[in-house]
Structure 1
């Protein structure tokens, strides 16, 4: 009886390990998205929450504990109502970037960039984008995979290393969140 019980426990543990490994592999290849959209959205939320997306794409506001992402405007990008003054001139030296108090506008040698609206709004966000548009943007570092460069501080050089399955999951999650109408300004090129 002891031998049979021990064998069953080991077989159960092996079966669980194999099934967990298969589920993770499916998630990394995009199979989960096609077969189980709910699991894909859950995975996408996890990736967005742990990859720093809210740090830049959710406007920050002053709270009782200091500045923090304003989750009532989650992932809506630079607020259209916030007009930025000209970017300050930085002195020569190791300084590279100026950052707005909302954490959504950045000035550096590339000019001024504003974080994008990642919500599914059809006019001002990603609502008209396809999963392919999203993945190609991250892979190429160009808007819609062929347009203007995606500017700093967006770390496309890091995110392009994600699997297609993970990028598809992020896209699925972004399409599931509340839509926010917020037209982000176009980037400003550096003064010549």
Structure 2
């Protein structure tokens, strides 16, 4: 989990004594439920692609707004009801439980797709061993629709 960078996005960040750092009290719990995000700012012109929340758990880009998932074993808001097979199928297909909605950026599931089933099972086993944290993450928001008559 450390090597794969899961904490980089799935653990909310806060400002610590040395600057931004993961808030390990909320390790792998995803975007904070209580943090309601305003509409995403308009992306600037040019090569910029993404804007990120200060917690590093919400991302806006051409795909809309995505929120990092709760990876803890909480049965209602995390992976508590998932099986290793569900987890592996999600990574392999880029779809929730292998058949649901698409996994959206910035989740680099194609990179993790190169991990073996044994490696992914080990990651899932670890995620099932950490403390469960109730934290219902919002569903992704689609990109803003253009206003009629404007381009």
Common fold: TM-score over 0.5: yes
Over aligned residues, Cα RMSD in angstroms?
0.5
1:90 Cα deviation after fit: 1.4
Of 44, 47, 55 in structure 2, the residue corresponding to residue 102 of structure 1 is 55
| Unmatched 5+ stretches in structure 1 | 1-47
Asked if 1:178 corresponds to 2:131, the answer is yes
Structure 1 runs of 4+ aligned residues shifted over 3 Å read none
In structure 1, distance between residues paired with 2:121 and 2:4 = 15
Aligned to 1:162: 115
Aligned to 1:6: none
Asked if 1:137 corresponds to 2:94, the answer is no
Q: Deviations over 1:24-64 (max 9, x none)?
A: xxxxxxxxxxxxxxxxxxxxxxxx01111000000001111
Asked if 1:75 corresponds to 2:28, the answer is yes
TM-score (norm 2): 0.95
- The equivalences for 1:12-31 within 5 A come to none
- Report the structure, 1 or 2, having the larger helix content: 1
Other structure's SS at 2:104 match: coil
Aligned to 2:149: none
In structure 2, distance between residues paired with 1:90 and 1:71 = 30
| Unmatched 5+ stretches in structure 2 | 146-151
Q: For the pair shown, which has the larger CA radius of gyration, 1 or 2?
A: 1
Alignment size in residue pairs: 145
